[in-house]
Each structure stands twice: as structure tokens, then as C-alpha cells.
Structure 1
Amino acid sequence: MSFNFLQTDHPAWRSAGARHVRLLPVDGGTAWLVEAQGQQLTWTSISGDQPAPSVDVYALPAPARREAAGLNASLATLGGVARLPNPSLWDALATAVVRQVIRAAQARKLYREFCDRHGPGVALSDEMDIHSFPSPERVLTLSDGDFTNSGMAFKRRPLRRAAEAFLAHGENWLSLSPSVLVKELQTVPGIGPWSAGAAVADWSNDWTLYPYGDLAVRTWARHADPDAAWPMDERTFARTWRRVTGDQLGTYTLLTLAFGCRQAGAV
């Protein structure tokens, strides 16, 4: 597999020197540790016997959309972008809940602290511990004080509701197509269109389902193509984005988020 840039937008990615590491739970009980250095990915089995998760590579389509000429120039600098679809729908849903309303940097901080306090972990060879998000069963055992001490008091109710719903319906959810799953997740109290779309895009790597009018896409589209007259409001931007990207909407959305990840140094 050849790629130029690894998309580390998910807050589970941690940096360890020149490496990026992530503990990946897989729905079904398996867990893998993935370590990335340069263009090399190394997988270590932690538990279970399910195969290592897949990695998808995205690049600017050929031919690229003419309507996106300025955007193309910036996105082409990324080359091939590798992204791991989240192999845990539970983690994808929980991550979307944590990201609700707050800035990405704050969500990343809260997610990581919650993992470090309450999630399963492994010790790396350099004595750095890395943890994954607590299981839905574990979330439901946590006290109000556990949430408060992790800075997650205002996420307590939606996370508990999401955990209850996943335990009740998760097996069925995993059998649904991504587009149907987006609608189904919105039946959970506290899960709206943004959270459902973000979670399913993370899990499936189908970026046509991501809420592409959101602040992240708007921000990095303007950075990538500052000469374009990108609308400021979400609804008008979304219409413009659909028109400009056409049938390559998902690829452009993912690459624009990757461009932002590189610019911001997400890990």
C-alpha cells in the first residue's frame, strides 16, 4: 500500500516521537495496535482473532472537477491520503457525541482524558500507555462523579443514552447499509443529523454521508482555495459544495478534511 499522508483526524491517534499510534477496538471483541511511521504501518494483535482493519487510500480524482480548480491545486499537494475506517461503530458514535457543540481541539482533549481514566489500555515499549474508549457496558457503570472528574459532565446523559441504545440495537445497526444507518442512529435521543453523519462516515469511510456543510469543511475549503467565494453559512455552503464537487463529493470532503488535518497538525 502506497500513500503520502496519514489522516489522523480521529482523537484516538497519539504521537510518540516520530510515530503515530492508535489502539483500535473492533466490534466483536478484537483489538489491534497500529503504529505509523512515515509510510509504514505496523499492526500488533492485542486481543481476539478478527483480521486487522482495512486502510483506504484517497487521491484527487482524475480528471478532477474543473469547477474546483483552485481547490484542486491545494488538495493535489497531499498525494495519496490513507485513512483507517473506524472498526468500532460504538467508538465512532461515542466520538461523535463527544464532538457535539465543542471545538475539535477541546473534544480531542476530553476524549483522550476519558479514555485514559476509564478505557482499556496497553503499555508501549517506550513506557507510554495508550487507551481506547470505554465499552458501552463500562460507560453505564460510571458514576456521575466519574464523568465530572473527566470533564465530561455535560456529555454524561448523551453518552449513557448512546451506550444503552448500542447495547440494545448495535448488532442490528452493524447489518445496515451506511445510508440507512445514518437515519437509524437519529432515533437515539441526543443523536441528530450531524452526529449520525459524522459517526457513520468515520465507521464506513463513506464521506458523502459526512455533514459536509459543517465548520471544519467550510474552514479548510477557504484555506485551500481562498480566492473562491465560499458561502459563510452552513446551508448555502453545503449547496455550493455539492455543486462544485459533483459526483466526487465524498473524496473532496475527505481530502479537504485531510488538508486541514495537515495544516493544523491534529495529533
Structure 2
Amino acid sequence: MSFDSLMTDHPSWRSVRGRHVRLLTADTGASWLVEVHGRELNWTPLSGDGPAPMADVYRLPESARPQTMALDATLAELGEVARLPNPSLWDALATAIVRQVIRAAQARKLYRAFCGRFGATIARFDETDIRAFPSPERVLALSDGDFTECGMAFKRRPLRHAAEAFLAHGAHWTGLSPSVLVKELQTVSGIGPWSAGAAVADWSNDWAIYPYGDLAVRTWARHADPGAAWPADEPTFAAHWRRVTGEQLNTYTLLTLAFGCRQVGAV
């Protein structure tokens, strides 16, 4: 599989001496190291059995909608966009919690620091330890001070609630459809509509589930098509976005987010 652009929104993507790599861990215990080579991905199995989760490739629909012609012109420059679904629902949920309220760059910093201190070392790449996000069991074993020292005090309670819920219901959750799972996750204390939608989109690659009225989509839609009269508030923008993207809501949401967070061509 080849691609023109790679979406690198997940904080586990990192550059190690100019080489882009990501650790993927599944809830089954399987894990892989993925490295970008030009316009392709190379997989190294690390543990467990089963096929590696393959990237999905997104492209603009062949016939542009009149309401999105300028947006299409910008997004078309991305070409075929690849994105790896997260094979770990636990990691997807934890990542969404870390991303709550704060900016993406700060969330990435906190995620990596938390992994670096408390996550298990799964691989070494070019003399660099690659660590996974701490397991639910490990999260529950951490002290209040452990969270505080990593700048994660504000995330302590929702992560603990999520860890308890995942240990109790994770096997059931992974069998649910994305739309049902979004509702189910919101029964966990500290998980609201944004966190649930972001987690399920990361895990399933169903971007019609993503909370597409959020600041990220609004920001990059304006950058991609600055001449459009995009609504400023979240509910009005979401309704407008749903209307102008129509049946291609999933594709347009993914591509617009990728426009703001991607590696293009050889990296």
C-alpha cells in the first residue's frame, strides 16, 4: 500500500533521528513497530499473533459538491491520505482523555511523558526506547503523586474511571458498532461526547463519529477554505458541515483534520 500523505494525529507517532515511527499495541497483547519509508509503511511484529491493522486510504470523491469546491481544491493537494486505526480501544480512550481541554501539542507532550515514565518498553528503535501507554492495571496502581509529577493531576480521575470501566467492560465494548460504542463510553464518569467520539474515531477510523464541530475541524476548514463563511460556534458549524459534506461526512472530516496534521510525500 502506498499513499501521498500520512495522517499523524496520534501522539505515538514520533520522529527518531529523522525517521518516523509508531508503536501500535492491540488490546489482545499483540504489538508492532511501524516505520515510514517514503510513501509506504513497513511493519515489524513485536509480540502476539494476528494480522497487523492496515491503514485506510482516503481520497476526495470524484464529483465535487458546489458548496465545497474551494475546500476540495485545497484537500486535493493531499492526494491519497493514509491513516492507521488504533488497534487498542484502551489507548484510544486514554488518548482522548489526555487531549481533553488542552491543545494538541500539550496533549502530545503529556502523553509521551506519561508513557516514558510508566509505560512498558515494547521496542527499541535506533537506540531509543519505544514505550506503550500504561495498561489499565498500571494506571490504577499509580499514586496521586505519580500523576502530579507528570503534569497529569487533572487527568487522574477520568483515567482511573476509564481504567476501571475498561477492565470491567472492554471485551464487550470492542464488539459494539461505533455509534453504539460512543453512547456506551459516555456512561463512564469523565467521558463526555467529545472524548467518546474522538476515541471511537481513532479506534474505528469512522470519522462521521468524530465530534466534527470541534475547534480542530473549524480551524482547519477555515485554513483550507478561508473565503467561505464558516459558522463560528460549534453547534451551527456542525450542522453546516453535515449539510455541505452530505454522504461524504466521514471523508471530509478525516481529510480536513489530516490537512492540519500530516506528513506529505517522503518523510
Q: Specify the TM-score bucket, using the shorter chain as the normaliser.
A: over 0.9
Q: Name the CA distance, whole Å, in 1 between partners of 2:149 and 2:45.
A: 32
Q: Name the CA distance, whole Å, in 2 between partners of 1:248 and 1:156.
A: 37
| Residue 123 of structure 1: how far off its partner (Å) | 4.5
Counterpart amino acid of residue 96 in structure 1: A
User: Which residue in the other structure is 2:33 paired with?
Assistant: 33
C-alpha change, 1:123 and 1:172, in structure 2 (3 Å) is closer
Q: Is the 8 A contact 1:85 1:204 kept in 2?
A: yes
Alignment of 1:217-228 (within 5 A): 217-228=217-228
Counterpart amino acid of residue 142 in structure 1: L
Counterpart amino acid of residue 152 in structure 1: M
| Residue 251 of structure 1: how far off its partner (Å) | 0.2
Give aligned-pair identity as a percent.
76
* SS of 2:208 mapped into structure 1: coil
Unmatched 5+ residue regions in structure 2?
none
Q: Name the CA distance, whole Å, in 2 between partners of 1:107 and 1:18.
A: 22
Q: How many residue pairs are counted as aligned between the two chains?
A: 264
Q: Name the CA distance, whole Å, in 1 between partners of 2:71 and 2:80.
A: 16
| Residue 17 of structure 1: how far off its partner (Å) | 3.0
| Residue 54 of structure 1: how far off its partner (Å) | 1.6
User: Which residue in the other structure is 2:115 paired with?
Assistant: 115
User: Which residue in the other structure is 2:101 paired with?
Assistant: 101
Alignment of 1:38-187 (within 5 A): 38-187=38-187
Q: Name the CA distance, whole Å, in 1 between partners of 2:122 and 2:202.
A: 23
Between the two structures, name the one with larger relative contact order (CA 8 Å, sep ≥ 6).
2
Moved more, 10-19 or 238-247: 10-19
Q: Is the 8 A contact 1:18 1:37 kept in 2?
A: no
Q: Name the CA distance, whole Å, in 1 between partners of 2:59 and 2:123.
A: 34
State the Cα deviation string for residues 149-203 of structure 1 (Å, max 9, x = none). Answer: 1110110000000000000000000110111000000000110100000000000
What TM-score do the two structures reach when normalised by structure 1? 0.96
* SS of 1:10 mapped into structure 2: coil
Q: Name the CA distance, whole Å, in 1 between partners of 2:156 and 2:256.
A: 32
Alignment of 1:16-31 (within 5 A): 16-31=16-31
Q: Is the 8 A contact 1:53 1:87 kept in 2?
A: yes
Unmatched 5+ residue regions in structure 1?
none
Moved more, 185-194 or 58-67: 58-67
Q: Name the CA distance, whole Å, in 2 between partners of 1:261 and 1:40.
A: 18
Q: Is the 8 A contact 2:3 2:40 kept in 1?
A: no
TM-align CA RMSD: 1.3
* SS of 2:109 mapped into structure 1: helix
C-alpha change, 1:125 and 1:173, in structure 2 (3 Å) is closer
Q: Does 1:7 align with 2:7?
A: yes
Q: Is the 8 A contact 1:185 1:196 kept in 2?
A: yes
What TM-score do the two structures reach when normalised by structure 2? 0.96
State the Cα deviation string for residues 60-81 of structure 1 (Å, max 9, x = none). Answer: 1111222101100100000000
* SS of 2:210 mapped into structure 1: coil
Q: Name the CA distance, whole Å, in 2 between partners of 1:196 and 1:128.
A: 32
Q: Name the CA distance, whole Å, in 2 between partners of 1:146 and 1:83.
A: 33
